[in-house]
Every structure is written in structure tokens, then in C-alpha cells.
Amino acid sequence: MLGIMGGSRLGSIRWLGKWMVFAPNRRRGFLLRNIINGLGEKGLDYITKTISMREGGERPVVVYVPNFLAVNMINDVAEVILDVLNRLGIDKPLLFKPDVFTQEGIYSGSAGVMKPYIYMTSLGLKGFR
């Protein structure tokens, strides 16, 4: 996925990463809007998305970060998302996955011992794990 962020071209897909939080369908739109607003207030106008609506269950809200090696940038985005989750009373884990994992077929439940994310945090944790 390539796009424009903050007036500059988003880096090569190999460097992209994404924060994901799985939220109930009925709350995803409100959650997404609040995350977009929070990112904008901090000057972090990054690409966000959620998948099309389906009945029941939870679906991901995704926030892309231009470079999965930029730990400060990753942390800044996580802080915004956690603040929104806290305000909305949603206590779900927040997972960070480099897009190269997706390109290499590394998904939750796929064969192998590697987790499909490199960082995980939540309202109850302090920092990354």
C-alpha cells in the first residue's frame, strides 16, 4: 500500500508497519474517527483503515507507520491509540506488525514459531513487549 502522508510520499512497502487493534464492529467507526483525530492533533497524519462491515465479532482497526524501524514514531502512534482506547473504555491488545511479515506469509495461526507481530502493548502494560 502506498500513499501520501503529511505531504511526503510514504516509504517503500518493505519499511511499512502497522498497529492493529481488534474492536467490536459496532465501535469500529467511532474508534477509527477518534484515532484519526488524535493522530492529526499530534501531526501524525498516517494512513488508517478498517475492513468492510460484517455481522458480529471483531475486526481490525489498522494504523500504518512509514518505517517499522523508527521506534520513536511507532511509540508516538501507540500512545495516541492507547489514549483513545482508554477514553472509549476499550481494553484490547495493540499489536505492531511489519508489512514484510505479511509479504512473507507470517500470520496468526500460520505454521512456524514466529509471532506475527514484533510489539504488543495494552492499557494494562507499560511500554512494549
- Is the pLDDT at 108 greater than 60? The verdict is yes
For residue 26, which of 3, 50, 1, 48 has the smallest C-alpha distance? 50
126 lies in some domain: no
Range of the domain at 75: 4-121
Q: Report which of residues 7 and 88 the model is more confident about.
A: 88
User: How many structural domains are present in the chain?
Assistant: 1
The set of cell numbers assigned to 14 is 518493505
Overall average pLDDT of the 35-45 stretch: 93
Q: Report which of residues 12 and 91 the model is more confident about.
A: 91
Per-residue pLDDT at 103? 79
Q: Are 14 and 102 in contact (CB under 8 A)?
A: no
Per-residue pLDDT at 127? 55
117 lies in some domain: yes
76 lies in some domain: yes
Per-residue pLDDT at 125? 64
CATH number at residue 48: 3.30.760.10
- Is the pLDDT at 4 greater than 60? The verdict is no
Which segment, 31-35, 110-114, 115-119, is predicted with the most confidence on average? 31-35
129 lies in some domain: no
69 lies in some domain: yes
Q: Report which of residues 7 and 13 the model is more confident about.
A: 13
Q: Report which of residues 8 and 31 the model is more confident about.
A: 31
- Which pTM value belongs to this model? 0.79
Overall average pLDDT of the 94-123 stretch: 79
15 lies in some domain: yes
